[in-house]
Amino acid sequence: MQKKSSYRFLKWTLLACATASLASACVVTTGDGGDDFFDGGEGGTNSTAGTNSTEGGSAGTKAGASGSAGTTATTGGGGSETTGSAGAGGEAPTEMVGLCDADAATSATLPSCAPDDKDSADACRKCMRASCCDQWKTCFGSDPHNACGWGNSPSDDYEGQFDCVRNCYQAAIDAGGDPNDDNVIADCSFQCTKQCDDVDMGFPTQATQDLIECSKKSCNDDCFPPN
């Protein structure tokens, strides 16, 4: 997957900032700032952040049990008894591990942006599918799965990078963080690289950045509310 030039600029700028004094502030902008990865939107009033917007449920992780051995016997003189072999156990289903930018994966199956029953429980999901459809489909695509929408562990319900950022943001605001501080989402983004931390140089995937940018621009009140 080819990264946008703004993303490459963002990487090197942030790496330079990381070496500066911890007491100094670092502000990164690209273009006109309207949809920059770290630009903040105006806080809204709907508190719906922190919910998962992944398509589908979690994958199973246990293999099926083996079948018991059966027995058959012949009747009549000199008959012999035969013991059948046990049935083989079922294989555990493949885990839905999301692939990273380094894997150059392109999902062949994309979810629909049409309204459905799940929208009523997640205003951010509803808004993203209406206003950020292309970015949302890329994030939550499958065959293969993308790390933006899918993690690598059933312990966190395969939470991907974007849902991790939303949950991290909400926890930071609940703890007294400033919703107008662009660094809240930026810090969460670097804390939510998950399985791609090493292979993607410690940065969130491009799909994750694209969806964050669009959701901040078009769905900020629903996805990153102030409280």
Q: What is the pLDDT of residues 1-55, one digit of tens each?
A: 444 444 443 443 443 343 333 333 333 333 443 344 444 444 443 434 444 444 5
Residue 183, domain extent: 98-227
Q: Is residue 187 part of a domain?
A: yes
d(CA 201, CA 64): 38
Q: Are 122 and 166 in contact (CB under 8 A)?
A: no
| 80 part of a folded domain | no
Q: Which of 44-53, 155-164, 215-224 shows the highest mean pLDDT?
A: 215-224
Report yes or no on 83 lying in a domain. Answer: no
Write out the DSSP string of 21-57.
-TTS------TTSSS-TTPPPPP-S---TT----SS-
Which single residue is written with the structure tokens 């489909």?
A: 137
pLDDT at 170 over 70: yes
**Residue 76 located in a structural domain:** no
Q: Does a structural domain hold residue 63? A: no
212: enclosing H helix or E strand: helix 206-218
Residue 202 lies in a domain: yes
The number of distinct structural domains making up the chain is: 1
On whether residue 125 sits in a domain, the answer given is: yes
Token code pair at residue 104: 């150059």
Cβ 24 vs Cβ 198: under 8 Å: no
Could you tell me if residue 117 is inside a domain? yes
